[in-house]
Amino acid sequence: MAAVSEAQSLAGCPEKCGDVDIPYPFGVGQQPGTSRNCFLDYQSSFNLTCNNSTSKLYFFNVPVSNISLQQSQMEISINVSKSCYNQSQPSVPYQLNAGAFTISSNQNKFVTIGCDAVGLFATMDNSKSNFTPYSGCVAICDKRPPREIIMTDDKTCSGTGCCEVDFRAAIYYIEIVAGSLFNHTDVSSFNNCTYALVVKRDWFSFSLDYLSNFPYDLVPIVLEWTVSNDSCRNASGKEDYACKFNSECVDSSNGVGYNCKCKSGFEGNPYHPDGCHDIDECAIPNICPMPRRCYNHPGYHNCSCPPGFNDINGTACITPQRSNQHNLLILIALGVSVALLVVITLVFTLCWAHKQRTLKQLRQKNFEQNGGDLLLQQLSQQQGYSTTHTKIFTEVELKNATNNFDESRILGQGGQGIVYKGILRDNTVVAIKKSRVGGDPKQIKDFINEVFVLSQINHRNVVKLLGCCLETDVPLLVYEFVNNGTLLYHIDPLKNEISIPWEIRLKIAAETANAISYLHSYASIPIIHRDIKSTNILLDHNLIAKVSDFGASRLVPINESHVTTVVQGTLGYLDPEYLHAGQLNEKSDVYSFGVVLIELLTESKAVEFSRVEEKYLAMYFVSSMKEDRLWEIIDKRVLNEKNEHQLKEVALLARRCVRVKGEERPTMKEVAMELEGMISLENYRSVKGEEIVSEESEYLLGHVPQANGASTSASYGSILREIAFEIADGR
């Protein structure tokens, strides 16, 4: 029915030419007995020609095979551009002008067939001012290729013997030319013809036989047409508006002009003066289920119960008596439903209350299992020393902050637990550590120890503990978020190609030393970190160092010099004396920090089993200095003439930190002062000049005042004396 209604022509005008329908706005000639055209007067592109002798329809001089009102498309046949090497005549480009219509870029493609074949095309859009230079594709083969070389399905262009390319939309003119890359004199064993064509996409499929003989002189392509250059908004109020009764306007997909279509529930030709007419859906068999009757309306229909029947919510037609019975059943069902709802609500409430009690008991059990009582006991015993307040978070808060601990939020994993990135309700970004406790009393003790230790610390170079949560199956710690990764990440050349300048490395070392010195000397209770390493030193966006991971830390009573404990730490950073005797003191952290200093100097790992000379970095470093090979192991990216002296000073300090005997190592306070002194001298040198500072340094080496209250420069003089002493001593 739709196909018949689409083919409406104006009265007296031809409806067909051969087997091709001619729907208005297209037409041939004029209406008989009038001066009116059979086509839309908007433009001559709708004026077609019918050759009565051949019964073929033409668009200008191009054959037409189909016209679609619904798709707003017209299918025509165009010539193939052909060029052969054994012909003396040159290839002549083929040109197509679609008039006011456009060549569909969705329905067509450009294809080149042949060996040593070049197909080119140029286009122009509807503005008639944007002419593109030639483009196209090349197909190459020196002989007829086997099927298995091209592909298992030889119906697809692969670039061997055939290539294809798309072109942009809204094209009204195209020029096609076929040719070859090289001149060929011997064509006896060569596929000597090239074919270039624009073709309907779903019509063309490549065959290897086309390389010997392409059988088509004409191929189909699809044009897209509109009835105006205006948009729907601009055209709707004009006299030549093409959309007639019961139709609606649709803007063209390529942005030029508009088309018309029948409204829902209507059919016909939307361009015809009579417009679209209503579809009688009631003529469709069984469109309404019995006993309902179909009632047709303009654009729609409905199914209603016959007279004497009641409509039950659009689902059934029943008599009034049955309707009353039905209503009674509804009331009974409603009563039963209400009663069931009350029972279900009561059961749900009881279950919810039971679940809440169970959850409360579980949270209390988890709190006790995770060492909550131990933590409260320790905090209460040290209440007089604590200067910070540790917040207790709920499980719900931290689940919401981490999207239920989603794997995408994981920042890192280690022996003590998994760290997630979280965002609290006030948009504060935090790091949430999920401990690997699992009920082990020792692990629980380490976890509670970390909470307790961090609650005593308030220093800008120590990661701040914001709170904890103990009501989950494993305990959670909430820290400030340090967003720039670990120190190891920044100095490991395999992980980060951008090297940190030496001045920044020295600053990081000084900040870390200050933090450890604070733990040893200035915290309310002295704290030994016990796991100083480059992965436990975090950097923020300003490359400020933050010491983290206090799970292995220990508090040292003020009146004791050391504590005896099970050896714990990381291979390569462990103090040999602590490893041998199990006696932990402040000098153990000094050794570990010395290894970090060596990492900053060399960018080598603390333990490298691939290192032939020595697996442990500290021993390798000391032996290299004894053999006067310091400059061979220093990181070349930080070494220059200006900082050689400072690098050697830091190297000497690092060697002192990693001495085997703890009593020969400096304290962290002394280490921090020496590093700050180096930075201060460097800043002083940059202000006053290298020559003046050198003279002052020489003075300090020989004549350092011994008066009380010496300045930082005087303190640094002691460093210079130590350097001079070690050089003189051959160390």
Residue 320: its H or E element: helix 320-369
* Strand 465-469 relative to strand 391-392, pairing: parallel
> Which of 25, 48, 71 lies at the terminal end of a domain, its last residue?
71
Q: Does residue 118 sit in the same domain as residue 64?
A: no
Closest Cα partner for 474 from 448, 437, 422, 431? 437
Q: What is the pLDDT of residue 152?
A: 42
Q: Which of 7-11, 49-53, 234-238, 492-496 shows the highest mean pLDDT?
A: 49-53
Active site residue 549: no
Closest Cα partner for 385 from 558, 548, 511? 558
Q: What is the pLDDT of residues 424-478, one digit of tens each?
A: 999 999 999 887 655 566 667 766 766 777 777 788 999 988 888 888 887 888 9
Number of separate domains in the chain:
4
**String of b and e for 253-275 (b: at least 16 CB within 10 Å)?**
ebebbbbbbbbebbbbbbbbeeb
Q: What is the pLDDT of residue 620?
A: 93
Is residue 112 classed exposed, middle or buried when 0-12, 13-18 and 19+ CB atoms within 10 A define those classes?
A: buried
Q: Does residue 544 sit in the same domain as residue 630?
A: yes
Q: Does residue 9 sit in the same domain as residue 102?
A: no
For residue 420, the cross-strand partners are: 410, 432
Query: Sorting pLDDT into bands at 50, 70 and 90, what band is 524?
Result: low
Q: What is the pLDDT of residue 344?
A: 93
Q: Does residue 719 sit in the same domain as residue 619?
A: yes
> What CATH number is associated with residue 691?
1.10.510.10
Q: What is the pLDDT of residue 674?
A: 94
Q: Does residue 58 sit in the same domain as residue 102?
A: no
Q: Distance (Å, rounded) from C-alpha 142 to C-alpha 140?
A: 7
Q: Does residue 424 sit in the same domain as residue 557?
A: no
Q: Does some domain include residue 339?
A: no
Q: Does some domain include residue 275?
A: no
Q: What is the pLDDT of residues 103-128, one digit of tens each?
A: 998 899 999 998 888 999 998 876 66
Q: Does some domain include residue 252?
A: no
Q: Does residue 581 sit in the same domain as residue 507?
A: yes
Asked if 8 contacts 272 with a C-beta cutoff of 8 angstroms, the reply is: yes
Average the pLDDT over 503-522 and give the result. Answer: 91
Q: Does residue 43 sit in the same domain as residue 143?
A: no
Q: Does some domain include residue 302?
A: no
Q: What is the pLDDT of residues 332-347, one digit of tens each?
A: 889 899 999 999 999 9
Average the pLDDT over 690-706 and give the result. Answer: 45
pLDDT at 382 exceeding the cut of 90 = no
Q: Does residue 522 sit in the same domain as residue 619?
A: yes
pLDDT at 51 exceeding the cut of 90 = yes
Domain span including residue 458: 372-480
Q: What is the pLDDT of residues 673-689, one digit of tens each?
A: 999 999 888 887 767 65
For residue 83, the cross-strand partners are: 194
> Which of 415, 447, 480 lies at the terminal end of a domain, its last residue?
480
Q: Does some domain include residue 237?
A: no
Q: Does residue 52 sit in the same domain as residue 171?
A: no
Q: What is the pLDDT of residues 254-306, one digit of tens each?
A: 778 899 999 999 999 999 999 999 999 999 888 888 778 898 999 999 888 88
> From the candidates 531, 575, 589, 635, which is the catalytic residue?
531
